Amino acid sequence: MYRTISAGLIGLLFGIGIALSGMANPAKVMNFFDLAGTWDPSLAFVMGGALLVTALGYRIVLKRSKPLADSRFHVPSNRRLDAPLLIGAAIFGIGWGISGFCPGGAIPALGLGEPTAWIFVGAMLSGIALARAVRQVLDTRIAQTN
């Protein structure tokens, strides 16, 4: 229960941060990428501010033995640069460039009551579900052949 309440309040803060920063505005995001045209460098300030606070905060938080509302830190330990990571990242960037929406910008954009955000999120969730289903089929096949 405690875990759910903290996640809800922190989500609220995340959503406010995204909306204030301009990350929920696809036109602004696309202009950040448009170095040769109507470049808007604002999003460098978003990334800079977020990274600064997170890097400092993580240094303090991750020194503790466990989080306040859970038994352990759920932090990925994989350090290998593999093909799915790099190909997936490349594909994600293409989609981000086509639409101007990323997942962390699109979810808060739903709160703006803009139909285009709902259309994007519907397609994005379908994309995640599709990729996940394909991966599960492939993993099962690999397990059977081994």
Question: Would you say 36 or 142 has its CB closer to another protein?
Answer: 36
Least distance to another protein, CB of residue 117, Å: 8
Question: Would you say 86 or 141 has its CB closer to another protein?
Answer: 86
Least distance to another protein, CB of residue 34, Å: 5
Quickly list DSSP for the chain: -HHHHHHHHHHHHHHHHHHHHTTT-HHHHHHHH-TTSS--THHHHHHHHHHHHHHHHHHHHTTSSS-SSSSS----------HHHHHHHHHHHHHHHHHS--HHHHHHHGGGT-HHHHHHHHHHHHHHHHHHHHHHHHHHHHHHH-
Least distance to another protein, CB of residue 138, Å: 11
Least distance to another protein, CB of residue 143, Å: 17
Question: Would you say 35 or 143 has its CB closer to another protein?
Answer: 35
State the distance between the two ends of the chain, measured CA to CA, in whole angstroms: 42
